[in-house]
């Protein structure tokens, strides 16, 4: 059953949001919430910090004037495209004037402002993103997006090929939303249009593509979707990588960095360049990949010692990549969980106190002590470790 209003949405009942609606003639239907916040509220998937977007008949200058008159801070963050950011207390809302496309080139669109809500809806990408709601929670659904959302159908608005021609990034968004909101079912018309567009996406910025891919890699289940993207040559992965991805998800894994480590263990630098990913996510992926290599070599102690929490994902990656028997995975997980991992309890100062001189030899001794510490399962006390120095000499 398709509801006709939102009930109990925390963000909608927030006094700050209601104050913004009131300032922008929300009671008269001139301003409505739109997009992801409405979509995800309908299916109970709103995150704590979900963005709140509104669409309005008011021109950007009028939005700013009315907001400031009501004591709401207003910032012209994208005023050329009709977007103003409003802030009241801890709540921020992006408000965009209704638009229609005048020209598009696959990356940018020249728009004209308007007051036609259906026309505004028709310029969006998928029907499930063309959902609006008023200050009272009443839905405005001009294109049947609520039905598609509830039935898990990610459907382009109008002609899929035309929507993609307007913005090629919609190819990646089609697959991401199919994984996040479509249970990995791919609309046949949408898939065909994406297949036709694959050779014409070279103009897309690497940052935008990388952003879509990283958001997809963080979803719970993506193996079928990535397989479809590989089949149309949107991404380049071999069958072994796809099988490992399926096994990883069967183990319950769903981390973006872990999936990067799983799919591109030897090519993280190339992926970072292709998708302009942050150093932080690539560094985490590299840690997980190295932990996985240690597990594959049977070095559970070293994986735990060097990589701490990332070792858990490293174990899942190692098991998925080599198709470990469940007994081996369970045994290694138990060993990992029992390890009282702690830093080396002695330092160079302790060795100097025993008469050693600072220098390369002292560093070599510390490395050997570290090896003994790890191989003991982190059980040797400082005196026992220092007692081995004579033997090491």
**What is the average pLDDT across 49-78?**
95
**What is the average pLDDT across 120-148?**
96
- In 187-280, the DSSP E strands lie at none
**Residue 35 corresponds to which tokens in the numbers above?**
């997009």
More confident residue, 382 or 319: 319
Query: Using CA atoms, how far apart are residues 310 and 298, in angstroms rounded to an integer?
Result: 16
Query: Using CA atoms, how far apart are residues 154 and 181, in angstroms rounded to an integer?
Result: 7
Q: Where are the domains of the chain?
A: 1-151, 152-236, 254-338, 348-392
pLDDT band of residue 159 (cuts 50, 70, 90) is very high
Q: Is the pLDDT of residue 45 over 60?
A: yes
CATH pick for 1-151 out of 3.30.460.10, 3.30.300.30, 3.30.70.1450, 3.40.720.10: 3.30.460.10
**Residue 20 corresponds to which tokens in the numbers above?**
């913004």
Q: Is the pLDDT of residue 110 over 80?
A: no
- Output the pLDDT for position 108: 58
pLDDT band of residue 138 (cuts 50, 70, 90) is very high
**Residue 97 corresponds to which tokens in the numbers above?**
């004037």
3-state secondary structure of 46: coil
- Percentage of residues of the chain with pLDDT beyond 70: 96
- Output the pLDDT for position 208: 96
Closest CA to 145 of 34, 220, 221: 34
Q: Does 152-236 carry CATH code 3.40.47.40?
A: no
**What is the average pLDDT across 122-139?**
96
- Output the pLDDT for position 351: 85
Query: Using CA atoms, how far apart are residues 167 and 103, in angstroms rounded to an integer?
Result: 11
3-state secondary structure of 88: strand
Q: Do domains 1-151 and 152-236 have the same CATH topology?
A: no
The model's pTM: 0.89
Classify 171 in phi/psi space as left (phi over 0), alpha (psi -120 to 50) or beta.
alpha
- Output the pLDDT for position 382: 85
pLDDT tens digit string along 10-20? Answer: 999 999 999 99
For the chain, the first-to-last Cα distance in angstroms comes to 78
């Amino acid at each position: 059953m398709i509801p006709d209003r939102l009930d109990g949405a925390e963000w909608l009942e927030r006094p700050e949001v209601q104050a913004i609606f009131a300032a922008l003639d929300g009671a008269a239907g001139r301003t409505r919430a739109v997009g992801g916040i409405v979509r995800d509220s309908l299916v109970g998937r709103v995150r704590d910090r979900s963005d709140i977007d509104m669409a309005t008949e008011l021109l950007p200058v009028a939005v700013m004037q009315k907001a400031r008159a009501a004591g709401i801070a207003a910032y012209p963050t994208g005023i050329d495209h009709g977007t103003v950011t409003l802030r009241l207390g801890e709540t921020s809302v992006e408000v965009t004037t209704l638009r229609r496309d005048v020209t598009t080139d696959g990356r940018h669109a020249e728009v004209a402002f308007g007051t036609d809500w259906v026309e505004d809806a028709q310029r969006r990408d998928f029907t499930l993103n063309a959902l609006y709601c008023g200050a009272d929670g009443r839905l405005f659904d001009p294109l049947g997006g609520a039905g598609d959302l509830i039935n898990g159908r990610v459907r382009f608005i109008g002609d899929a090929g035309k929507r993609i021609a307007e913005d090629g990034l919609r190819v990646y968004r089609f697959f991401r939303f199919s994984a996040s909101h479509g249970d990995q079912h791919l609309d046949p018309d949408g898939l065909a249009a994406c297949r036709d567009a694959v050779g014409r996406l070279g103009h897309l910025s690497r940052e935008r593509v990388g952003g879509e891919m990283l958001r997809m890699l963080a979803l719970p289940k993506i193996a079928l979707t990535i397989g479809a993207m590989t089949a149309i040559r949107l991404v380049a992965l071999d069958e072994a990588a796809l099988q490992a991805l399926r096994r990883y998800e069967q183990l319950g894994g769903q981390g973006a960095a872990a999936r990067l480590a799983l799919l591109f263990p030897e090519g993280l630098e190339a992926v970072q360049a292709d998708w302009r990913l942050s150093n932080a996510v690539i560094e985490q992926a590299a840690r997980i990949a190295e932990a996985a290599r240690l597990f594959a070599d049977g070095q559970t102690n070293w994986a735990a010692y060097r990589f701490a929490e990332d070792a858990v994902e490293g174990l899942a990656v190692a098991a998925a990549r080599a198709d470990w028997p469940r007994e081996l995975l369970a045994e290694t997980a138990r060993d990992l969980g029992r390890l009282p991992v702690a830093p080396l309890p002695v330092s160079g100062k302790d060795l100097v106190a025993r008469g050693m001189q600072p220098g390369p030899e002292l560093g070599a001794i510390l490395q050997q002590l570290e090896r003994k510490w790890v191989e003991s399962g982190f059980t040797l006390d400082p005196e026992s470790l220092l007692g081995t120095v004579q033997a090491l000499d």
